[in-house]
Amino acid sequence: MAILDPVLKNLIHNGNLRVLDWKNRLAVYGDGTGIPVTIRIHDLSTAWRLIFNPQLAVGEAFMEGQLTIEEGSLYDFLDLCFKNIGLKSLRYPLSRITERLRTWIRRIDQFNPASRSKANVAHHYDLSDTLYDLFLDADRQYSCAYVMSPDDTLETAQAQKKRHIAAKLLIKEGHRVLDIGSGWGGLGLYLGDISGADITGLTLSEHQHAVSNERAEKAGVADRVRFKLLDYRAEEGKYDRIVSVGMFEHVGVNHFDAFFRKISDVMADDGVALIHAIGRADGPGHTNPWIDKYIFPGGYCPALSEVMPAIEKAGLLVTDIEILRLHYAETLKRWRERFNANREKIRTLYDDRFCRMWEFYLITSELAFRYQGQMVFQIQLAKNYGSVPITRDYITEFETAHPPATVVAPVSRSLQIAA
């Protein structure tokens, strides 16, 4: 293990990591505390890739079976690594060089015109319906839940998320509401049901578009809840309320100004908007290359310091910011547990490699929120300070008056995509 030894000695100070190489040679790292974890690196080329490009190579090696877990679990191994790395960058020259290069070229990676945005969305969201049914809640809320108690089920936490967003939007009957990045329609249907408002959702996923409109038809609300297959940049209506949940991460740093200009353009003078998105606490950076290649191409979770200038340029007022710190870690934990409980069913949909990829995605995402400064921000925006009450009591009052609706009609399975 001479190749990796200097890197691992510098990286792993706490824990108990045992590494076997392709010649069955053993090296031990850490202080011996915690759960013992043993991994095997199966060939020399994998070892070199781990040195030159660890952020990409660890995930790829695990997916391809070139790095296997011999003792402990994948979660144990990654938890040990993330705890040791924390908010720090990997401290050796080759890694620092690749980190800087990724930050320099991020505007190329995140250039997302409408056609590229549509392809990026299809890459992830047009997978099999059954896959999402097997790890999400019945409403297919695929964004950070609002976990108020460790005992909250996934259904309860996601219902609390929708209620929390509705409270901040101050929606009333007769309002026109725009949902940018409307997913499978669950939030739009909830907002329409709880307020009687007129809802328009935008999505770039052809499948989500079809499923969402089918749900509105079945609920008998298609006359006031509808979903359009449309890029946000092409929307030309005027709306009293605007919401975007889990979509801003797909905008790309090049397009922040355009995004908030569009919010301003379509917002009524007394309107209110809420942007709910993943952010980073450690300042501007780049997307993890493995996540960018295999899970969310073109995506980026920004620092607030990158978002606020675009809001200011658009002439919008920030009326509230809330940081949800560990809520997404707890959401991902619940998704991971459901994924593991249904792993055999998912394997029959795809294959073992896909299962390893998805497991790696869920675990690394969870641990990024626990140890590496990932968080979710909810930014409330207006054009007029008088559009929102001067205290936050209205949020609690709304939530007290509206128990979370944890029972929802499951997303229709009549529109399936083959695995």
55: nearest Cα among 233, 291, 272: 291
Would you list the DSSP string of 279-305?
Answer: EESS-S----HHHHHHT-TT----BHH
Locate CATH 3.40.50.150 in the chain: 114-401
In a structure prediction context, what are the per-residue pLDDT tens digits for the chain, which is 419 residues long?
A: 678 999 899 999 999 999 999 999 999 999 999 999 999 999 999 999 999 889 999 999 999 999 999 999 999 999 999 999 986 654 445 555 566 665 656 566 666 676 555 565 555 656 788 999 999 999 999 999 999 999 999 999 999 999 999 999 999 999 999 999 999 999 999 999 999 999 999 999 999 999 999 999 999 999 999 999 999 999 999 999 999 999 999 999 889 999 999 999 999 999 999 999 999 998 998 899 999 999 998 899 999 999 999 999 999 999 999 999 999 999 999 999 999 999 999 999 999 999 999 999 999 999 999 999 999 999 999 999 999 999 999 999 999 999 987 656 667 544 443 33
Tell me the CA distances in angstroms from 14 to 8, 28, 34, 91, one per residue in order: 11, 11, 8, 16
Using the Cα atoms of residue 346, residue 351, residue 356 and residue 357 in order, give the sign of their dihedral: negative
Instruction: Provide the terminal-to-terminal Cα distance of the chain, rounded to the nearest Å.
Output: 40
Amino acid, res. 167: A
Q: On the CB side of 275, how many CA atoms lie within 13 Å of its CA?
A: 27
Tell the CATH superfamily of the 114-401 domain.
Vaccinia Virus protein VP39 (3.40.50.150)
Q: What is the C-alpha separation between 5 and 172, in angstroms, rounded?
A: 62
